[in-house]
Amino acid sequence: MPSVIVTDRQGLAHVLTGRAGDSVMQLARAADLPVIGECNGSLACATCHVVVDPAWADRLAAIGEDEEAMLDTVFSLTPTSRLSCQIRLSPELDGLRVSLPT
């Protein structure tokens, strides 16, 4: 099963394993990481913001207009910021690295 490595705000890495199609938001919440995902992935908030490791950023699906609009409201925006609800696990993304914004 594919996994994603989420680095929390204290710098601790959490290896989360899920099924293909699971979102990083779902897995992070299930692991009790502070990812809120208030709109449950309907692209109506930015409370599941994560920063993707630059080495992985280009391998993700392109950012859609709604996701871009939500990300544009984030104070701590980085060039590789994404909404974790929009990142779906797949064999191609096995080992993906993201971190929680500070």
Q: Examine residue 69 and tell whether it contacts other proteins (CB under 8 A).
A: yes
Query: Exactly one of 74, 80, 97, 101 binds other proteins (CB under 8 A); which one?
Result: 74
**3-state DSSP percent of the chain in helix, strand and coil, to 5:** 25, 25, 55
**Residue 73 phi, psi dihedral angles, 5° rounding:** -95, -5
User: Of the two residues 5 and 41, which places its CB atom closer to other proteins in the complex?
Assistant: 41
Binding mask 75-94 for other proteins (x = CB under 8 A): x-------------------
Q: Please list every residue from 8 through 67 that binds other proteins, using CB under 8 A.
A: 36, 38-39, 42-47, 66
Query: Exactly one of 6, 35, 50, 70 binds other proteins (CB under 8 A); which one?
Result: 70
Nearest to 8 by CA among 42, 26, 35: 35
User: Of the two residues 70 and 87, which places its CB atom closer to other proteins in the complex?
Assistant: 70
Q: Residues 26, 18: contact at Cβ < 8 Å?
A: yes
Output the CA angle 56-59-63, nearest 5 degrees.
105
User: Of the two residues 28 and 93, which places its CB atom closer to other proteins in the complex?
Assistant: 28
